[in-house]
Amino acid sequence: MSIELKRTGNDVQVFVDGNLFTTCVNSEEYKSPFMSPVLSKDGTNFTRPDLHHREHPHQRSVFIGIGDVNGYDFWNEHGKPLGLIRAKKVETSGGGEKAAVSLSAVWQGRRGKRFLDEERVYTFSKPGDKCVRVDIFLKLTASCTGIKFGKTKEAGPLGIRVADEICADNGGSFVNSEGGEKEDGCWGKAARWCNYSGVVSGKKMGIAVFDDKDNERHPTAWHIRDYGLMAPNNLFFKGGYSLKKGESVVYKFTLFFWEDSFDAEKYSALI
């Protein structure tokens, strides 16, 4: 098993066993960094690959955002006032069994007004022959002013848009750690993990997302929809969250991109 990183400017391609798995996109061509597309070994999409989609255009595969940060929108593509996340420093490390992409970023207004400093790390590993693990570490620091994250449905901070072929509207399904199924059993419900899956060209594949036990108000509530969005979101379902100037909040999430079958409780022991 081998993980290799190839960098072009601030963008980093991630190869698993010689096959492109994903790209960590940090270019200022987009309003914020994201990870897209996410591909299986044979090139099948786990996530929606479109970078300029008309429907929910901000939902670029695997992304970070919050729709109300002191009134600024860091979630939607054309929010008013619009927030931008700008990667200032990108570093890579490791290779072989594990590799990481780290970035430092600033959450700012369109004219440069600064709200948050961000540290983000994607760590890639492969716990099984047909499963790739991505650990996401996110630290947000109120370096310049006090911060109020509003009670908004447009938030995660983590958002994932599954491939259209997997989404429940097209025959896929999702379950959570508490036995909930589809929107009626999972939307707005607190759970340690959610697992979204479907059948593509006769092959079952899915994305399981775990909320870390140290995250604020764990287990998180979930904004997860039949049309293909999955987002761990305490802000809307449990109320907003505040930081005093100088304070930080850390989020950690573990994602498994799997094929054929996946035992979420078994893998939870690895987190």
Assess whether pLDDT exceeds 80 at residue 55: no
- Name every residue whose Cβ is closer than 8 Å to that of residue 198 and which is 6 or more positions away in sequence: 162, 163, 165, 166, 167, 168, 170, 171, 172, 173, 204, 205, 206
DSSP annotation of 168? G
What mean pLDDT, rounded, does the chain reach?
Answer: 95
- Name every residue whose Cβ is closer than 8 Å to that of residue 261 and which is 6 or more positions away in sequence: 204
Confidence of residue 52 (pLDDT cuts 50, 70, 90): low
Residue 230, Cβ neighbours under 10 Å: how many? 25
**pLDDT for res 265:** 93
CATH number, position 91 = 2.70.98
Total of domains in the chain:
1
Burial of 129 (C-beta count, 10 Å sphere; 0-12/13-18/19+): exposed
Domain residue limits at 58: 3-268
For the entire predicted model, the pTM comes to 0.96
> Distance between CA atoms of 59 and 53, rounded to whole angstroms?
9
- How does pLDDT run across 77-97, given as a tens digit for each residue? 888 899 999 999 999 999 999
Torsion of CA 59, 198, 193, 84, to 10 degrees: -10
- State the average pLDDT over residues 24-53: 92
Burial of 224 (C-beta count, 10 Å sphere; 0-12/13-18/19+): buried
- How does pLDDT run across 171-228, given as a tens digit for each residue? 999 999 999 999 999 999 999 999 999 999 899 999 999 999 999 999 999 999 999 9
Query: Two tokens at 161?
Result: 């848009």
Nearest Cα to Cα of residue 118 among 151, 140, 136, 96: 140
Whole-angstrom CA distances from 220 to 105, 213, 268 are 25, 9, 15
Assess whether pLDDT exceeds 80 at residue 54: no
Confidence of residue 56 (pLDDT cuts 50, 70, 90): low
Kindly state the greatest CA–CA separation across the chain.
Answer: 52
